[in-house]
């Protein structure tokens, strides 16, 4: 996992390098080859959904899926900084860094037993009231074509994306408990000791941290982008990105069960490979030659192809089962100010 301060350090180095390179090249190359720099300060008012489930049904009477956790409707007002370096009319490099605290939303924790035939045997709710979001996109691209009459451009690019989210869930409220759930233990580490759930059980206070989850995606990406000028001062733009190769890690810590000595920290870990896609649309108003205002909408999505879930008891060896599902989705409005020179 990358240190949280690394994206900031990379950004400072890259921006400083851009400035130095631009001063040097401006004196050595003709006007058509000069460097252009675009610096954008923006925001992404987003909401997200991260979910995972695993299959331990080879251990009767556990169901498939055995457990599903859904971190839904968690909001993040991202502060974002982008730097784009264009060399001549064709080539460019771009760095995009964003971060935010995560607040709001709900954790839905479902457990399944085979007697309930795919319906949740137990469902609890917790409040998401903490966490963080960090991402870095680094791209290199080239001009593919120009629209007639200088109306716009169409580019292609390749790059890398690092996307990390941490969720903290507080409190536990029992929402559903089936007849099987009151008599059968789901826990593969202490089989037959305690029932899975109890109807009308005493809730855990919202002041108590119960689960922390950290998901990290490392993605290769390739895409296209275009901008079309409707007038001299107004343009529309969009991009579509395919992420054909993702590597991910996901860690869950069940703090109450760590305290009671049942599980380690982290309690469950997941690794695997996947794919994903990103998309942006928006409009830009050129206030002056050097300053522009833009608004838009953005969607990011990653999904597992194959993965493994491991549980880590406090005493005894870890157990491993197939991961059934792992995906992250984030979308929302974007806005920003761009300074060009």
285-298 pLDDT per residue, tens: 999 999 999 999 99
Q: How much is the pLDDT for 185?
A: 61
3-state secondary structure of 197: coil
Of residues 4 and 99, more confidence is placed in: 99
Q: How much is the pLDDT for 60?
A: 85
How many Cβ atoms from other residues are within 10 Å of residue 159's Cβ? 21
Domain boundaries, the chain: 6-340
pLDDT band (50, 70, 90) for residue 200:
confident
Which residues have C-beta within 8 Å of that of residue 47, sequence separation ≥ 6?
73, 74, 75, 76, 105, 330, 331, 332
User: Which DSSP string corresponds to 278-338?
Assistant: EEEEEEEEESSSSEEEEEEEEEEEEEEEEEEEEEEESSS--EEEEEEEEEEEEEEEEEEEE
Could you tell me the fold of the domain covering 6-340?
Lipocalin (2.40.128)
d(CA 112, CA 119) in angstroms, rounded, equals: 7
Which residues have C-beta within 8 Å of that of residue 136, sequence separation ≥ 6?
7, 10, 95, 96, 97, 161, 162
- Does the structure show a pLDDT above 70 at 39? yes
Average of per-residue pLDDT values in the chain? 89
pLDDT band (50, 70, 90) for residue 187:
low
Q: The pTM is what?
A: 0.87
157-180 pLDDT per residue, tens: 999 999 999 999 999 999 999 999
Which residues have C-beta within 8 Å of that of residue 5, sequence separation ≥ 6?
none
pLDDT band (50, 70, 90) for residue 186:
low
223-278 pLDDT per residue, tens: 999 999 999 999 999 999 999 999 999 999 999 999 999 999 999 999 999 999 99
Which residues have C-beta within 8 Å of that of residue 86, sequence separation ≥ 6?
35, 36, 37, 38, 92
- Does the structure show a pLDDT above 90 at 18? no
The region of weakest confidence among 72-76, 99-103, 184-188 is 184-188
d(CA 194, CA 183) in angstroms, rounded, equals: 8
Q: How much is the pLDDT for 62?
A: 92
Q: Any idea what the Cα angle at residue 216 is, between residues 214 and 221, rounded to 5°?
A: 160
User: Which DSSP string corresponds to 75-87?
Assistant: EEEEEEEEEEEEE
Q: How much is the pLDDT for 33?
A: 56
Work out the percent of the chain whose per-residue pLDDT is above 90: 81
Q: How much is the pLDDT for 34?
A: 84
Peptide bond into 302 cis (omega under 30): no
């Amino acid at each position: 996992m990358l240190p949280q301060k690394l994206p900031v350090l990379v950004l400072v180095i890259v921006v400083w390098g851009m400035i130095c390179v631009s001063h040097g090249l401006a004196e050595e190359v003709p006007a058509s080859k000069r460097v252009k720099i675009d610096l954008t300060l923006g925001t992404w008012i987003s909401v997200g959904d991260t979910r995972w489930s695993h299959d331990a049904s080879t251990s009767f009477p556990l169901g498939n899926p055995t457990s599903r956790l859904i971190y839904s409707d968690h909001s993040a007002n991202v502060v974002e900084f982008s730097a784009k370096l264009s060399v001549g009319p064709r080539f460019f490099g771009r760095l995009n860094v964003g971060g935010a605290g995560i607040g709001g939303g709900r954790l839905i924790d479902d457990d399944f037993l085979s007697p309930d035939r795919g319906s949740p045997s137990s469902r609890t709710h917790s409040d998401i009231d903490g966490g963080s979001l960090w991402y870095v996109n680094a791209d290199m691209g080239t001009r593919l074509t120009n629209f007639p009459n200088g109306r716009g451009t169409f580019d292609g690019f390749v790059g890398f994306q690092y996307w990390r989210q941490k969720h903290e869930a507080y409190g536990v409220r029992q929402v559903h408990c089936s007849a099987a759930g009151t008599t059968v233990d789901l826990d593969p580490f202490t089989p037959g000791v305690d029932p899975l759930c109890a109807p009308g059980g005493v809730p855990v206070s919202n002041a108590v941290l119960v689960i922390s989850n950290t998901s990290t995606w490392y993605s290769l990406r390739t895409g296209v982008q275009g901008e079309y000028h409707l007038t001299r001062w107004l343009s529309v733009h969009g991009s579509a990105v395919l992420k054909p190769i993702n590597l991910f890690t996901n860690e869950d810590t069940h703090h109450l069960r760590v305290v009671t000595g049942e599980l380690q920290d982290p309690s469950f870990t997941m690794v695997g490979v996947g794919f994903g896609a990103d998309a942006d649309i928006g409009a830009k108003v050129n206030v002056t030659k050097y300053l522009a205002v833009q608004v838009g909408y953005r969607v990011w999505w990653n999904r597992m192809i194959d993965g493994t879930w491991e549980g880590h008891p406090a005493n005894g060896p870890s157990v491993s089962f197939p991961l059934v599902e792992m995906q992250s989705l984030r979308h929302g409005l974007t806005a920003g100010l761009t300074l060009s020179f």
